[in-house]
Amino acid sequence: MKTGLVTLSAVAVLVLASANASAVDFSFSGRFTGDDDVQLFDFSVGMASRVTFRTLSYAGGTNAAGTVIARGGFDPILALFDSRGLLINQNDDGGFRVPGDPVTGAHWDTYLRSVLEPGTYTVSVMQYANFALGPTLSSGFLGAHTHDFRDNTGTLRDGHWAFDILNVNSAVAAVAASSITVPEPETYALMAVGLAGIALMRRRRKVIAPPPTSPESAAARTAPCTPRSARPRASCSAGSCLRA
């Protein structure tokens, strides 16, 4: 697993949730230097909440902080872990919930919405098909099996990414993949055989049709979204925020 330098910036948008708790929309951005880089984020939820995770850098768009994100980034995926490091869910493509890239036409930014209980969690952003091996974060990642950030169509992309974590109490960019345990070659080979087959099937489905969404995502399709235009904003750097 390549270490790679990960640069990032973060902006938070305050959301008034209740008298006892507040939720914040966090926007992060950065750049990978290697295809197998992984960026981790630690976040907390103060009360049972519907949390949304999304990337914007494959097709471009405007993040929760109002910053315009350029298209052209790598094909991203994400994985969600609980406070014990147990894998909760992974997401490959956002489908109709994310815009299509104007060049490739693919809707390959991530989008995952999950109802989470109070507690702390970790979410990771990777390049396809560097899926989390599971069952825990310390189990490592499969590897992207591509070069120079090329996507499934063979289109040359770049290493920039942009990621929103919406409706949480706090979120900080944690560590890059350098501190994540990588399985020994023999153990990795056993786990990789099954996951490689899954990744291959997903890769084929990508060309044919969007992959099925998770139960959490499907259940939340009709959930109303609170407009962010009216929310007071606050800026932060590396997770330290000054709220308006």
pLDDT of residue 174: 87
Cα Dmax for the chain: 53
CB atoms within 10 A of CB 243: 13
31-45, 110-124, 148-162, 179-193 — which is least confidently predicted?
Answer: 179-193
Answer whether CATH 2.60.120.380 is correct for domain 7-232: yes
Contact 220, 113 (CB under 8 A): yes
Long-range CB contacts for residues 212-219, cutoff 8 Å, separation at least 24: 213/95, 214/89, 214/91, 214/112, 214/114, 216/89, 216/112, 216/113, 216/114, 216/115, 217/91, 217/97, 217/111, 217/112, 217/113
User: Across residues 126-153, what is the average pLDDT?
Assistant: 95
Instruction: Cis check for the bond before 135: say yes or no (omega within 30 of 0).
Output: yes
The string of pLDDT tens digits covering residues 36-81 is 999 999 999 999 999 999 999 999 999 999 999 999 999 999 999 9
User: Across residues 180-200, what is the average pLDDT?
Assistant: 49
pLDDT of residue 216: 45
User: Across residues 125-154, what is the average pLDDT?
Assistant: 95
pLDDT of residue 170: 96
pLDDT of residue 202: 54
CB burial string 82-91: b at 16+ within 10 A, e below: beeeebbbbb
Share of the chain above pLDDT 90, in %: 61
Higher pLDDT, 204 or 217: 204
CA nearest to 7, candidates 35, 42, 37, 36: 37
pLDDT tier at 23, thresholds 50, 70, 90? confident
